[in-house]
């Protein structure tokens, strides 16, 4: 090979090497995505997974190995706006991508990641998610927290995600769910997360409609009058309680869930609310004609209110659709049905709302 041929071969070889290097470098920085990097300190798990929340499921994008110090650097190509998470074993870190981020850096100790104790830079939205996770681990989140969050218009998709995943759906929170979806859809139409949230709301509405029309009673209509004897044989009537907010509770001495869960809460509520405005009527569906077990259960469970009656013949349970117990009905001061089978804090909120009206 002559001198010219050697120089030409070297030149072509050098071009090939440089081209290869440039192509390799181009893979480390995404032009239509972002890089997530960082360190998981003292991690017992060698892998880190990057997943994206796509509504009903999380799509796994990348699985990479941590180095010996727990460091990682992962390129996410063709990134879609939304909520992501880095999962390392049982621990996970949520972060967001809104299209402006180039590199999101996360550093934290494995043992405390779940409580939101980590350092995250490169993404203002991800810091918002971190603040929320920390709040979630320290106290109960309520609808008011989400209303405050919605005032920041910069991150509507994050706001919708938090409402969707962390705020229970009921009559009191339905408005918050709808507002979150409506606001985010103005910026991200047909986003998978928002489509799934819409389906979630529709399912909640359908469930509510089924519950409120379960049996012969309808919300907003007057309930049948109950006329049944108490333990002394005296006949008491539901209509005597007109002007008060009333909880009607169908139960029995033989019903385990009634006595373990239902009765303790009824006792708490009876102590809590003004007796001149609130009353409980317990309807016991006892078997046979003997009242011994019923009276014993009332005494043991502390059911001290006067309107304890027994329905041996199952005369009124069919009228109320109480085929399964425990089953509760909330009645307003006019004797109209407000709710069926509300539980816990939801029932208390409904009672307090009626007492204030």
pLDDT score for 214 = 53
Residues 151 and 63 in one domain: no
Q: Can you state the angle between helices 263-272 and 292-301, rounded to 10 degrees? A: 60
Q: Are residues 235 and 305 in the same domain?
A: yes
| The pLDDT of residue 169 | 83
Write the DSSP symbol of residue 190: T
Tell me, what's the pLDDT at 153? 63
In a domain, 19, yes or no: no
How far is Cα 206 from Cα 192, in angstroms, rounded to an integer? 21
Output Rg (C-alpha) for the chain, integer angstroms: 31
Together in a domain, 264 and 331: yes
Mean pLDDT within 191-205: 90
pLDDT of residue 138: 67
One DSSP character per residue, 241-270 reads: GTTSEEEEEEE-TT-HHIIIIIHHHHHHHH
Per-residue pLDDT, 7: 42
Does a structural domain hold residue 126? no
For position 9, what pLDDT does the model report?
Answer: 41
Q: What pLDDT, on a 0 to 100 scale, did the predictor assign at position 254?
A: 92
**Residue 20 placed within a domain:** no
The domain tally of the chain equals: 3
Regarding whether 251 and 279 lie in a shared domain, the answer is: yes
- pLDDT at residue 10 is higher than 70: no
Under DSSP, is residue 160 helix (H, G, I), strand (E, B) or coil? helix
The CA distance from 283 to 269, in Å, is 17
Report the share of the chain in percent with pLDDT over 90.
56
Neighbouring CB atoms inside 10 A of 33's CB total: 18
The tally of CA atoms less than 13 A away on the side-chain side of residue 170 is 16
Looking at per-residue pLDDT, the higher value among 26 and 81 belongs to 81
Final residue before a domain boundary, out of 178, 212, 246: 212
Query: Which pLDDT does position 147 carry in this prediction?
Result: 56
Q: Flag the least confident range among 6-15, 210-219, 336-345.
A: 6-15
Q: pLDDT tens digits for 236-278?
A: 999 999 999 999 999 999 998 899 889 999 999 999 999 999 9
pLDDT attached to residue 141: 57
What's the pLDDT band for 144 if we cut at 50, 70, 90? Answer: low
Residues 146 and 254 occupy one common structural domain: no
Q: What is the pLDDT of residues 290-334, one digit of tens each?
A: 899 999 999 999 999 999 999 998 899 989 988 889 999 999 999
User: Quick check: 61 pLDDT over 80?
Assistant: yes
Residue numbers of the domain that contains 44: 34-121
Please check the confidence at residue 167 and state whether its pLDDT lies above 50: yes
Shared domain for 115 and 181, answered yes or no, is: no
Q: How many CB atoms lie within 10 A of CB 154?
A: 10
How wide is the angle at C-alpha 169 spanned by C-alphas 194 and 188, nearest 5°? 15
pLDDT (tens digit per residue) in 69-78: 999 999 998 8
* Mean predicted confidence (pLDDT) in 37-42: 96
Checking if the pLDDT of 3 tops 90, the result is no
């Amino acid at each position: 090979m002559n001198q010219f041929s050697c120089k030409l071969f070297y030149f072509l070889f050098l071009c090939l090497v440089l081209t290869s290097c440039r192509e390799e470098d181009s893979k480390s920085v995404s032009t239509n995505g972002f890089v997530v990097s960082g360190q998981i300190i003292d991690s017992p798990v060698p892998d880190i997974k990057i997943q994206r929340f796509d509504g009903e499921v999380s799509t796994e994008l990348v699985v990479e190995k941590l180095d010996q110090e727990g460091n990682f650097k992962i390129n996410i190509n063709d990134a879609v706006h939304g909520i992501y998470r880095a999962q390392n074993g049982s621990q996970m870190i949520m972060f967001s991508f809104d299209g402006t981020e180039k590199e999101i850096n996360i550093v934290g100790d494995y043992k405390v990641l779940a409580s939101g104790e980590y350092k995250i830079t490169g993404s203002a939205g991800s810091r918002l998610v971190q603040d929320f996770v920390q709040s979630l681990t320290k106290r109960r989140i309520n609808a008011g927290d989400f209303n405050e969050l919605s005032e920041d218009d910069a991150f509507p998709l994050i706001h919708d995600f938090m409402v969707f995943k962390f705020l229970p759906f009921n009559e009191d929170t339905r408005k918050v769910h709808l507002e979150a979806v409506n606001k985010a859809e103005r910026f991200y139409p047909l986003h998978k997360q928002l489509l799934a949230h819409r389906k979630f709301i529709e399912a909640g509405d359908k469930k509510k409609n089924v519950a409120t029309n379960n049996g012969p009673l309808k919300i907003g209509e007057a309930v049948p009058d109950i006329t049944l004897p108490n333990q002394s044989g005296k006949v008491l009537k539901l209509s005597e309680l007109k002007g008060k907010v009333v909880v009607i509770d169908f139960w029995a001495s033989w019903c385990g869930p009634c006595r373990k869960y239902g009765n303790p809460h009824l006792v708490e509520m009876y102590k809590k609310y003004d007796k001149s405005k609130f009353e409980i009527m317990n309807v016991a569906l006892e078997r046979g004609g003997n009242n011994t077990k019923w009276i014993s259960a009332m005494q043991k469970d502390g059911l001290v209110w006067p309107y304890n009656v027994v329905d041996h013949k199952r005369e009124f349970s069919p009228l109320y659709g109480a085929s399964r117990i425990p089953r509760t009905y909330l009645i307003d001061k006019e004797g109209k049905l407000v709710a069926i089978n509300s539980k816990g804090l939801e029932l208390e909120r409904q009672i307090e709302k009626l007492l204030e009206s």
